[in-house]
Amino acid sequence: MHPYRTHTCNDLRPAHAGQTVKLSGWIFRKRDHGGILFVDLRDHYGQTQIVVHPSRSFFELLTHLKLESVVTFVGRVTMRDAATINPDLPTGAVEVVADECIEQSVADQTPIYLAGDEDTAEEVRLKYRFLDLRRASLHQNILLRSRVIAHLRQKMTALGFNEFQTPILTCSSPEGARDYLVPSRVHPGKFYALPQAPQLFKQLLMVAGFDRYFQIAPCFRDEDARADRSPGEFYQLDMEMSFVTQEDVFQVVEDVLHSTFTTFSKLAVDAAPWRRIPYREAMLKYGSDKPDLRIPIEMRDVTAIFRSSGFNAFAGAIKTGAVVRAIPVRAIKTQPRSFFDKLVEHAKSLGSKGLAYLIWDGEQIKGPIQNCLKQEELQQEMTLG
């Protein structure tokens, strides 16, 4: 028999009942039910319930072992009673009655409780990162990353791309941030730069005639943290193609990303071809070149309405060439006055002198600038809703 295991903690099923098996893993939970000890043993693959009777010589040892200690069990697979089956676990229909226990590594009391949902301070989680990564959610995130990258490689290879690794120590080629510099030992006083992207090298590959290149590329940028990436470094799917049109590039990206999101996410993803929004249209309608189209709000040009209005703040600006745009928001009429006061304060915190707004309740228009508009101008405003 293997010195550590014959099966993983996710392998055992009812078909294994009656077999003698060996499992190794971490003690995830312990429960004492009327003198019988139940141990949830966890490894990379899953969990298995171990049953330890008080007659066993190692019963006291297990009673005192701390959670996250590493042990090996030898025992017989048995079926659970119908009332104790755990449908949430693939191994939930069976358990292992332990005949032997080998202590592999004893743990101290852990500063992070891994078997519950309690929130631990971030500085503690980072200090004990090796423990934090044992949490089921983080463990699955790391595995998801691995599977996504493997999927990207498979898709790109199937589309005729070749994967090449480009240099990390290189010359400086600033793009959108500052470089990270690495001092050179063999050239005192000189520095290498870490690439912000493999731009120069992939262009060399194209010039050299490699036709289709891709890489899961590390990028290093000395910039502040962002909501969607770690500060300092991130990885991106980088590609380059020769003798192609923009539409060819779009088709590859649509194929790869649609396949990735439909495989690994429950989000609804539009089928190809995806909607193309020209940059000018995106900025005019959404004020962003990467709008979230799940938000059904589009800006409208209301310059003509305010051109000859009595609201001089807008009318005067329009005479100098300014444009006035409005953001029509439905179902906002039910909000209290305090809601709009907070919006005004938020606008001022962004550097604006204020916020002009009008509310249409379905019958009439009200708001701070109502009296500055003529009736026909108010009627035009109503058409925005």
Contacts of 142 (CB under 8 A, 6+ apart): 133
In this predicted structure, the answer to whether residue 226 has a pLDDT above a threshold of 80 is no
Query: H/E/C letters for each residue in 219-270?
Result: EEEECCCECCECCEEEEEEEEEECCCCHHHHHHHHHHHHHHHHHHHCCCCCC
For residue 141, what pLDDT is reported? Answer: 94
Q: Does 148 have pLDDT greater than 90?
A: yes
Quick one: pLDDT at residue 28?
A: 96
Instruction: Quickly state the pLDDT bin for 294 (edges 50, 70, 90).
Output: confident
- Residue 21 neighbours by CB distance under 10 Å: 18
Average pLDDT, stretch 312-322? 88
Buried/exposed 243-271: b ≥16 CB within 10 Å, e otherwise: eeeeeeeeebebebbebbeeeeeeeeeee
Residue 377 has pLDDT above 70, yes or no: no
What is the maximal distance between C-alpha atoms in the chain?
94
Q: Which residue has the higher pLDDT, 226 or 214?
A: 214
DSSP 98-146: EEEEEEEE-----SS--SS-----HHHHHHTHHHHTTSHHHHHHHHHHH
Phi, psi of 321 (to 5 degrees): 105, 0
Query: What does the pLDDT read at residue 382?
Result: 57
- What mean pLDDT comes out for the span 291-300? 89
Helices (H) and strands (E) in the chain, counts: 11, 14
Q: What is the average per-residue pLDDT within 279-303?
A: 90
The model's pLDDT over 321-359, given as tens digits with 9 standing for 90+, comes to 999 888 888 767 677 888 888 988 998 999 888 888 888
